[in-house]
Amino acid sequence: MVAVITKTNRGAYAEQLRAMHRDRARIFVEAWRWRLPVTGDGLEIDQYDTDDAIYLVDFDADCAHLASLRLLPTTRPHLMSDMFPDLCADGPVVGDDVWEISRLCTSPELPQDRHRPMRNRLARAMLEFGFLFGITRFVGVTNLQYLSRMLAFGWECMPLGLPKEMDGVPVGAFVIDNSPASIEAFRARTGTRFPALQLDRDLAA
């Protein structure tokens, strides 16, 4: 199951969050060569890892990180409006019901054939989270290879503008419409009916 980690329950998930930030450094900085800040103990943490951030984190019984993503409210500082507004033909999509996806990653320790199932489960959890908490759209920026995959993923996803090259890599912005129909279509495409999201009692209240 995928845990929802907010500012209210981060203490209970300290080990899982450290594992997530460590894998983010291994993937985005070491493997992909993104110029991102890394702490002295090898954790990738940037200016958007604030109390506003909500993390969806999948981990095993030993608290090892499997997959994760970060969600940010677009009414607060976030990547698209601050750093990538020119990727959106009509300007960034902003609103109380619009949240940004960033830092989606799977553990480099996973066997190759488990990466896609982990990403699928994480995406299901994201849609379920949005439905429960009134998020009608998700936005984000990704490289052109992943953007093509996302547009063909089986949900209501559209580009927000033409892709552009940044630091030698073509990237594009997207918006995902979140609705019960989107969740059902995604579950049908991935062949599962069971919820992926795990809510702590205080969040579900």
| DSSP, residue by residue, 22-61 | HHHIIIIIIIT-----B-TTS-B--TT-STT-EEEEEE-T
What per-residue confidence (pLDDT) applies to 45?
A: 97
70: its two tokens: 């970060």
Classify residue 141 as exposed, middle or buried by CB count within 10 Å of its CB (0-12, 13-18, 19+).
buried
**To the nearest whole number, what is the mean pLDDT of the chain?**
90
Q: Side-chain half-sphere of 113: how many Cα atoms within 13 Å?
A: 0
Answer with the residue of higher pLDDT: 162 or 192: 162
Task: With a cut of 90, say whether residue 120 has pLDDT above it.
Answer: no
Q: How far is CA 151 from CA 61, 101, 191, in A?
A: 33, 15, 19
Query: Which three-class secondary structure state does DSSP give residue 111?
Result: coil
Task: With a cut of 80, say whether residue 79 has pLDDT above it.
Answer: yes
Q: 69 pLDDT band (50/70/90 cuts)?
A: very high
Task: With a cut of 90, say whether residue 11 has pLDDT above it.
Answer: yes
Answer with the residue of higher pLDDT: 181 or 37: 37
What per-residue confidence (pLDDT) applies to 204?
A: 52
| Region of poorest pLDDT, from 54-68, 110-124, 147-161 | 147-161
Task: With a cut of 70, say whether residue 201 has pLDDT above it.
Answer: no
Task: With a cut of 90, say whether residue 58 has pLDDT above it.
Answer: yes
Q: Which residues contact 73 (CB under 8 A, 6 or more apart)?
A: 52, 96, 99, 100
Q: 103 pLDDT band (50/70/90 cuts)?
A: very high
Average pLDDT over residues 153-164: 86
Query: Which three-class secondary structure state does DSSP give residue 188?
Result: helix
What per-residue confidence (pLDDT) applies to 91?
A: 95
- Give me Rg for the CA atoms of the chain: 16
DSSP-assigned beta bridge partners for residue 175: 139, 158
Task: With a cut of 80, say whether residue 119 has pLDDT above it.
Answer: yes
User: Which pTM value belongs to this model?
Assistant: 0.92
Q: 27: closest CA among 138, 122, 115?
A: 115
Q: 196 pLDDT band (50/70/90 cuts)?
A: confident
Q: Which CATH superfamily is domain 2-204 in?
A: Gcn5-related N-acetyltransferase (GNAT) (3.40.630.30)
Domain spans of the chain, in order of start: 2-204
| Region of poorest pLDDT, from 27-41, 55-69, 156-170 | 156-170
Element (H, E) at 5: strand 2-5
Task: With a cut of 80, say whether residue 190 has pLDDT above it.
Answer: no
Q: 41: closest CA among 22, 66, 15, 63?
A: 22
